[in-house]
Structure 1
């Protein structure tokens, strides 16, 4: 195709509403040449209105987010299913690591050789209680208390945690109320907010020592101790 043929073809396509990119892909010539050949022709009317373009963009973003969420959920599902059943040993070590991350620990300046954990995640609480079951700790040795913002529904929160722990709400000690600070922008204000559950194990000095010893055993076995 001669240069004149390319020029004439480019003009025909431009009159049909083709963009520079489409003409370039069709004819294989540079955009600068196309611009020179068709610069006297009227610019094609937009294919979509501003509202339509916005709608198409939002629809595309929605599809992308859906695909990304499905990918995230699939990764989590495969990882969850790969765990399988836990042996008692695995549950014990998992509970030790959980407690060391979230529980109250003994300090040289503050002797606290007892098990006490506070957390707002129901799954963490459920796993901790299962760990205590493995250690042979009866529910009668546990003391429960809710720590929650004063604006929340304390009774509902205590009922939720009591059901999760399999105990009567009447055994709960008086809740610790966190005073409202107007200068703080709280994020935990949804209906699902139930504060934190505090679980204290009575007569647990020996259990605490076993837990701490096992924790450092894990660290040493992993070659992670200084």
Structure 2
């Protein structure tokens, strides 16, 4: 058993000792139910929830469930209406959006560490798609792009690699070696389960000139924003 699996097994047994069910342990650790069963099957079952406690839970769900659903529908209606307000993007709009997107999320050179290279890292597939559309607008050729996955070692690494490769339209074999983050069993992570795919790193090769232009574009946006006369609040 590898060190990572040993740590996961230890944490699974700790959670079982705290009275967690198999499903709850799976949600915390992001491992399969069969692994959890193998690791903790010799431990005593947690006490069953009493009928009174289950009744209280059901009563609370009957009261608050409809309200949560109403709130969820309201959120979805608001987001759908907001999305419709955007419409299509013009070239200049995408250009300015991409500059701000990179300066917020991309790698930046420091005075103490000069590294002029356009590198973008994000876990949001929408952000990756917008960034790639922006690079295409700038005329960056696809063959200049390098892709690499960053993910926790306890996650579905192969599944994440397939997902990101499919999103950016390359074969899995075209990805650079995946960066694995060591798992700390004492850390209760929320980014687990089927929806967790780590981050994708997009590296533009030979991008020193592009990086300098991005930095200049951003300074231009900042200067233009400072010149806008905003209404005085009373």
Q: Report the TM-score, using the length of structure 2 for normalisation.
A: 0.70
Distance in 2, matches of 1:135 and 1:186, equals 38
Q: How does 1:61-210 map to 2 (within 5 A)?
A: 61-210=64-213
Secondary structure of residue in 2 paired with 1:222? helix
Q: Residue by residue, what CA displacement relative to the aligned partner does 1:39-94 show, whole Å, maximum 9, x if unpaired?
A: xxxxxxxxxxxx99986664342222222222111111111100111101100111
Note the C-alpha offset of 1:215: 1.0
Distance in 2, matches of 1:134 and 1:215, equals 17
Give structure 1 stretches of 5+ with no counterpart: 1-50
Give structure 2 stretches of 5+ with no counterpart: 1-53, 229-234
Distance in 1, matches of 2:178 and 2:138, equals 27
| Residues 186, 53 of structure 1: alpha-carbon distance in 2 compared, 3 angstrom cutoff | closer
| Residues 52, 224 of structure 1: alpha-carbon distance in 2 compared, 3 angstrom cutoff | farther
Secondary structure of residue in 1 paired with 2:149? strand
Note the C-alpha offset of 1:220: 1.5
Distance in 2, matches of 1:187 and 1:150, equals 15
Distance in 1, matches of 2:189 and 2:111, equals 35
Q: Residue by residue, what CA displacement relative to the aligned partner does 1:159-216 show, whole Å, maximum 9, x if unpaired?
A: 1111111112111111111111122111111112111111110111111111111111
Larger Rg: 1
Note the C-alpha offset of 1:221: 1.5
RMSD: 2.1
Secondary structure of residue in 1 paired with 2:226? coil
Distance in 2, matches of 1:213 and 1:104, equals 15
Note the C-alpha offset of 1:120: 0.8
Q: Which has the higher contact order (CA 8 A, sep 6+)?
A: 2
Q: Report the TM-score, using the length of structure 1 for normalisation.
A: 0.72
